Chains A and B, each alone.
Chain A
Amino acid sequence: MGISRRSALKAMASVTATSAVSAISARPAAAAEAPADAVGMLYDTTLCIGCKACVVACADANDRERDTAWSEGKWQAPVDLNQHTRNIIKLYVDGPTRSFVKQQCMHCIDPACVNACMLGSLQKREFGIVTYEASLCTGCRYCQMACPYNIPKFEWTKAFNPKISKCELCNHRLAEGKEPACCEVCPREAVIYGTRADLLAEAHRRLEAHPDRYVPKVYGEFDAGGTQVLYLSHVPFEQIGLPDIGPRSVPETQRSLQHGIYQWFAAPVALYGVLAAVMLRHRAKQGNETAGNADGGQP
């Protein structure tokens, strides 16, 4: 009646072998590179005066409702990114040190949100911009679980047709030959628009010209596999909400594991064959032993 420990372990092993073996042999995928035509933004905390003109301009440009919840309907004052707010300015205070910081989608080179999305509603489209296509979105919100910067927001208040809302680098304005609204309206050029290559060069130029002014790093050059929105800051990046994720892109762990297991779908097909073969063998044996018992493993 008892099950021998050895045979049970053997079976467990045969079932888990596929995933285990592939997990170990999983090769790290080649790091993604920015698309040749990648555009982006460069934000500089030392230039931003916190006027929030960009917050208003962003809501206007993207037909967002005003977020007046905090002031009970009186004025636009979002407390965080949300379904109405794709761009926000926050003030970081720590004693005498203070810094404004702008938050919006980073347009990652290898975006976790895009990796998550089942039908490619979120995708890196023209210029490497991560855009959203509602007709392919099921509202599963895996993109929200995945984004390391907490960017995609969901229209929670809508019972019908809620969508994901996030900065799409004003791609509709770019198509008209205009700049992103936030960059156009900024009175201090604290956030500027350009190709990623140009912005990176500009960032390094500023770092070299004013080494005393900045943390010596361009956030987004390599972070999380690189992003198309870049930051310069005079306070440590982690303190203004830009986590130290390391140079590895976020989806890489999962993807290399998954590709290891499901490469050409070979392992699942093989496992299927093995399982069926084992059962057919048992059934054949059983048929010999108890001839006339037609039950042959019927559930």
Chain B
Amino acid sequence: MSAHADVRHAPGPVGGAFFTPGVKIVAVVAGIGALAIVYRLAFGLGAATNLNDGYPWGLWIAFDVVTGTALACGGYAMALLVYILNKGQYHPLVRPALLTSAFGYTIAGVSVVLDVGRYWLLWKVPLYFWHWNLNSVLLEVALCIMAYTMVLWIELSPAFFERGVTAETPWIRRVSERGLPFMKKALVWVIALGLLLPTMHQSSLGSLLLLAGPRLHELWNTPLLPLLFLVSCVGMGYAAVVMEGALASSVLKRRPEREMLAGLGQAILPVLGLYLVLRLGDLVWRGQLGALFAFDLYSVLSLIEIGLFIAAPLMLATERQRADMGNLFRAAMVLVLGGALYRFDVYLVAFNPGAHWSYFPSVGETLVTAGLVSLEVLGYVMIVKYFPILTGRAPEARAPILART
């Protein structure tokens, strides 16, 4: 476990000015999103969205919640690798993964508040336990996601405490000094929760649509939905960590953790292998190969989706391929696209309420989603600049610039 003690891999704040030109652009998008949110709250869902009685769930659920939390499975996937498979050398990637996960889940939570029609009653969901409908998969998903979002921020708290012990305000220092050793002791139990909860709700995000069974296209209508969602979210988690690692290092001018990211590229392989066996095996088992090659809209979309899941491992097959950062990044992106398409397919394409219904996200919905994603980016940049999240030293040439702050 030498990696832990290795100072080169110790996390530290990135430092530097916050309002770089890039950050300003992202802030503008977030601002426009905020206006769209005000519009939705003032004028209601009918005015702000293209949702309708045929397609009651749209972009916010399919993207922000279902795809967003799958992409936010980096924390989950990394915890599996580091704490369960005991690959301690990947430890430096855990914190950044947890941070993106925490933001991903928090943003998903905000989307849910905007999406439900009666958000002022949401507090009843966790508290009115005597009314809980234990048959409702949505209840399980809601409770799990609420709990997991909290768990993620708790898992991340040592990063804040580490910074806090050097704070000038006495009470912050005191809390941080007490918090650090406490977290060290409690961590195993918190991490175990952080592994259990996503296992539950990521699979349940697949189970949700089983209830729409009679109106779900046969290519996606399988009792394996929960398992397919679970396995693919682990792959998407690794892919997200790879993309985030590569992006953060290039945008924030850090040296990327090349070997570790390449190792993740390898970790993706068995996961995708399992996914493909399940997905294709299920289609064969249920006799849907004919539908798969019918070349109608459904068949084409499934083929693209499965094709992306096949392309990703092909791009990661050899050590040479994985060592090439550009290729690694592209493969991760292919996988993320595949996983996102699979989720859109299940939630929006496979779901067919009848020929006279149609749905395409409105401008308002899109602006809100773009705004929330931007908010996530802003939060991420802000936190890595001031708190010890990222490892990977700054290249020497940059050191004086950083030293100025």
Decide if A204 is an interface residue (CB 8 Å cutoff).
Answer: no
Contacting residues, chain B, for A115 (C-beta < 8 A): 133, 135-136, 211
A297 close to B263 (CB less than 8 A): no
Q: What mask results when residues 132 to 166 of chain A are scored 1 for a CB within 8 Å of chain B, else 0? A: 00111111111011101010011111111111000
Decide if A201 is an interface residue (CB 8 Å cutoff).
Answer: no
User: Which residue of the partner chain, among B1, B183, B189, B211, contacts A251 with CB atoms under 8 Å?
Assistant: B211
Shortest distance from the beta carbon of B30 to any chain A beta carbon, whole Å: 23
- When A293-B5, A297-B83 are in contact, do A154 and B196 touch as well, CB less than 8 Å? no
A156 close to B88 (CB less than 8 A): no
User: Which residue of the partner chain, among B2, B128, B137, contacts A258 with CB atoms under 8 Å?
Assistant: B137
Contacting residues, chain A, for B226 (C-beta < 8 A): 19, 23, 257, 261
Contacting residues, chain B, for A289 (C-beta < 8 A): 1
A276 close to B192 (CB less than 8 A): yes
Shortest distance from the beta carbon of A150 to any chain B beta carbon, whole Å: 6
A-B contact count (CB 8 A): 255
B224 close to A23 (CB less than 8 A): yes
Shortest distance from the beta carbon of B307 to any chain A beta carbon, whole Å: 23
B274 close to A12 (CB less than 8 A): yes
Decide if A77 is an interface residue (CB 8 Å cutoff).
Answer: no
- When A19-B203, A282-B83 are in contact, do A117 and B223 touch as well, CB less than 8 Å? no
Q: Which of A23, A135, A261, A299 has the most CB of B within 10 A?
A: A299
- When A16-B230, A119-B125 are in contact, do A278 and B212 touch as well, CB less than 8 Å? no
User: Which residue of the partner chain, among B85, B116, B191, B353, contacts A150 with CB atoms under 8 Å?
Assistant: B353
B87 close to A23 (CB less than 8 A): no
Decide if B89 is an interface residue (CB 8 Å cutoff).
Answer: yes
Decide if A172 is an interface residue (CB 8 Å cutoff).
Answer: no
CA gap between A289 and B159 in the complex, in Å? 25
- When A119-B132, A254-B207 are in contact, do A12 and B234 touch as well, CB less than 8 Å? yes
Shortest distance from the beta carbon of A241 to any chain B beta carbon, whole Å: 8
Q: What range describes how many residues of B lie at the interface?
A: 35 or more
Q: What mask results when residues 91 to 133 of chain A are scored 1 for a CB within 8 Å of chain B, else 0? A: 0000000000000000000001011111110000000000000
Decide if A18 is an interface residue (CB 8 Å cutoff).
Answer: yes
Decide if A82 is an interface residue (CB 8 Å cutoff).
Answer: yes
Q: What mask results when residues 127 to 158 of chain B are scored 1 for a CB within 8 Å of chain A, else 0? A: 01001110111111010000000000001101
Select from chain B the residue with minimum beta-carbon distance to A272: B196
CA gap between A208 and B138 in the complex, in Å? 44
Select from chain A the residue with minimum beta-carbon distance to B191: A279
Contacting residues, chain B, for A23 (C-beta < 8 A): 223-224, 226-227
B131 close to A258 (CB less than 8 A): no
How many residues of A are in contact with the other chain, CB < 8 A? Answer: 85
Decide if A177 is an interface residue (CB 8 Å cutoff).
Answer: no
B136 close to A116 (CB less than 8 A): yes
Cβ < 8 Å to A, chain B residues 103-137: 115-119, 121-122, 124-125, 128, 131-133, 135-137
A138 close to B124 (CB less than 8 A): yes
CA gap between A294 and B156 in the complex, in Å? 18
Contacting residues, chain A, for B131 (C-beta < 8 A): 119-120, 136
CA gap between A91 and B213 in the complex, in Å? 27
Contacting residues, chain A, for B121 (C-beta < 8 A): 135-139
Decide if B41 is an interface residue (CB 8 Å cutoff).
Answer: yes
Shortest distance from the beta carbon of B216 to any chain A beta carbon, whole Å: 10
A138 close to B119 (CB less than 8 A): yes
Decide if B358 is an interface residue (CB 8 Å cutoff).
Answer: no
CA gap between A262 and B41 in the complex, in Å? 37
- When A2-B266, A279-B192, A299-B94 are in contact, do A257 and B223 touch as well, CB less than 8 Å? yes
B184 close to A118 (CB less than 8 A): no
Stretch in contact with the other chain, from A3-11, A51-59, A185-193, A211-219? A3-11
User: Which residue of the partner chain, among A19, A243, A254, contacts B210 with CB atoms under 8 Å?
Assistant: A254
B116 close to A12 (CB less than 8 A): no
CA gap between A254 and B44 in the complex, in Å? 32
Shortest distance from the beta carbon of A21 to any chain B beta carbon, whole Å: 11
* 26 pairs of residues in contact across A and B, judged by CB atoms under 8 Å: A5-B269, A8-B267, A14-B84, A15-B84, A15-B199, A16-B227, A23-B224, A115-B211, A136-B121, A138-B116, A142-B136, A144-B53, A150-B54, A155-B117, A156-B52, A158-B46, A162-B117, A163-B118, A250-B213, A271-B196, A275-B195, A276-B188, A279-B188, A290-B4, A299-B98, A299-B158
3 smallest beta-carbon distances between A and B, as pairs: A139-B117, A156-B46, A159-B44
User: Hey, which bits of chain B sit against chain A, CB under 8 A?
Assistant: 1-2, 4-5, 41-47, 51-54, 56-57, 80-89, 91, 94-95, 98, 115-119, 121-122, 124-125, 128, 131-133, 135-140, 142, 155-156, 158-159, 183-184, 187-189, 191-193, 195-196, 199-200, 203-204, 207-215, 223-224, 226-227, 230-231, 234, 259, 262-263, 266-267, 269-271, 274, 351, 353-354, 356
